Amino acid sequence: MEENSKNKRRGKSFLLSVLVVVISLVVGMIGGVSGIILLGANDGEYAKKIGIESVQIPTTKTEKIIIEESNAIISASDKVSPSVVSVISKQVYQDVFGRTLEADGAGTGFVITSDGLIITNKHVVSSEETEYTVVMADGKSYDAEVKSRDPYNDLAVLKIDAKNLPVVDLGDSDQMQVGQWVVAVGNALGQYNNTVTAGIVSAKNRDVETTATSSSAAETLSDMLQTDAAINPGNSGGPLVNLAGQVVGINTAIASDAQGIGFAIPINTAKSAIESIKNTGKIVRPYLGVRYVAVTKDIAEQNNLSYEYGAIVIRGSGIGQVAVVPSSPADKAGIVENDIILEVDGERVDADTTLLSLIQKYKVGDKVELKISSKGTEKTVNVTLEEME
C-alpha cells in the first residue's frame, strides 16, 4: 500500500511538471505574438527599448514601384499610339521571264503635323518607282507622297491628304540617360501594327554601319541611341518614346548578329529636318564633308594621339569612303585625313557633344571656325557650310 501511494504521488508530480511546461510554452507564444504586434504598432520603438533591431521587408514598396512603372509604360503607349502609322509599299515589276509580279513591304511612321506630314526612315521609302500607302491606327488608309528624303540621315517625310490628325509630342533626346526606360511602337514584322515593346537606353552616341540592300546603299549612321527594347523588321521609322510619351528617337536599325541591340536616330537630329520640311518643302542639311571617328581615351592610347577628345578625320572601310569629300567645305578649307577637329566655334567636340550635333546647329551658308590639330600643330580654319545634295 505504501508503495502504491508513492507511485501515485510520483504520477501527480510528473503531470504537474508537464502542465507547468505546457503553460509556459503557451504564455511564451502569446508574449511573442504580442511583441510582434507591439513592434508593428510602434514602428520599432519598443524593439529599440529592449535592444532588438526590427526588420522591414519592402514587399509593398517593391510592388508599388512595379505598378508605377507599368502604369507609366501603359500611359506612354496610349499617348503615342494614335499617331503611329503603318507605311505599306507596293511595287509592280517584271522578272526575267517577262512575268508581272508584285512586291510588298512595310514599315512604320508617325504624324508630326495635324495636316498630314509623317516622318519615317529613308530606307522604308527609298524607291522612287514604288507606291506608298499609310494606314492609320484606326484603320483608315491614305495614298502617300514622299515629300523629301534626307541626304545625310536615314529620314524621310511623307504627306497624306488628311486633317485634324493626332500629333506626337517631341521630347529632348539630349536629356536621355543610359538606363532610362523607353518604349518602342511599330508595325512589327509588317503584320502587327502598333506593337509595343519596352526596354532601356543602353548607350548613346553610337556609330552604326548599315548593310547594303537591294533598295538602299550601305551608310554610316552617327550619334545613335542604342536600346534593348525589341525592334523587329517593320518597326523601322516608328517612334522611341520616354515614359512621358514624348518621342525621343526614330527606330532605325538592329544588330542582326545579336539579341536586344537596336538603334534609333535621336529626335533632336530630326528636328532640324522637320523644321526644314515645314519651311522649304524639303529637307535641307548643312554639311562639312568629312568622315570621322570620335576620339576616346582608348583610341588615343591605341593610336598615340595627343588628345582624348575631338573627331579624327579618317576614311571608311568601304569602297569610295574617302576621309574628305572632294570640293566639300572641309576640302576647300584645307582639312586632310588624320586631322583632329577639336572645336566648332569654341565648342569642344567630345563624346557628349559630337561633331555632327554641332554642325547641325547651323544653317546652309553659315561660316564656322574650326579648331583642329594637323600633324601635331593646332590651328584654326574657317569653313562655309554648304547644302548636302
* Distance between CA atoms of residues 148 and 159, nearest Å: 10
Active-site residue (options: 236, 276, 328, 357)? 236
Nearby residues of 142 by Cβ (< 8 Å), 6 or more positions away: 116, 133, 134, 136, 160, 161, 162
User: Cell for 273?
Assistant: 529636318
Q: Are 110 and 81 in contact (CB under 8 A)?
A: no
Q: Are 84 and 247 in contact (CB under 8 A)?
A: no
Is 161 among the catalytic positions? no
H-assigned helices in 266-363: 267-280, 297-303, 329-332, 355-359
pLDDT-derived band at 12 (thresholds 50, 70, 90) equals low
H-assigned helices in the chain: 2-41, 45-49, 59-80, 267-280, 297-303, 329-332, 355-359
- Whole-structure pTM value: 0.69
Over range 95-119, report the average pLDDT: 82
pLDDT-derived band at 59 (thresholds 50, 70, 90) equals low
Active-site residue (options: 81, 86, 123, 173)? 123
Half-sphere exposure of 15 (CA within 13 A, CB side): 6
pLDDT of residue 21: 45
- Amino acid present at 322: V
Quick: pLDDT tens for 118-135: 999 999 998 888 899 999
Is 154 among the catalytic positions? yes
Q: Is the pLDDT of residue 258 over 50?
A: yes
Q: Is the pLDDT of residue 240 over 70?
A: yes
Q: What is the mean pLDDT of the chain?
A: 81
* Distance between CA atoms of residues 135 and 89, nearest Å: 11
Over range 376-389, report the average pLDDT: 91
Instruction: Indicate the burial class of 5 (C-beta count within 10 angstroms; 0-12, 13-18, 19 or more).
Output: exposed
Quick: pLDDT tens for 187-236: 876 677 789 999 999 999 887 876 655 445 556 787 899 999 988 888 89
- Which range is most confident: 24-38, 314-328, 332-346? 332-346
pLDDT of residue 159: 96
Over range 52-75, report the average pLDDT: 67
* Distance between CA atoms of residues 92 and 210, nearest Å: 26
pLDDT-derived band at 106 (thresholds 50, 70, 90) equals confident
Lowest mean pLDDT of 29-33, 158-162, 316-320, name the range.
29-33
- Which range is most confident: 33-42, 285-294, 366-375? 366-375
Q: Of 273, 119, 266, which is closest to residue 206 (Cα–Cα)? A: 266
Q: Three-state SS for 374?
A: strand
Over range 279-290, report the average pLDDT: 87
pLDDT of residue 321: 81
Active-site residue (options: 83, 89, 126, 154)? 154
pLDDT-derived band at 273 (thresholds 50, 70, 90) equals confident
pLDDT of residue 128: 84
Instruction: Indicate the burial class of 179 (C-beta count within 10 angstroms; 0-12, 13-18, 19 or more).
Output: exposed
Is 123 among the catalytic positions? yes
Quick: pLDDT tens for 147-168: 999 877 899 999 999 999 999 9
Residues in the chain: 389
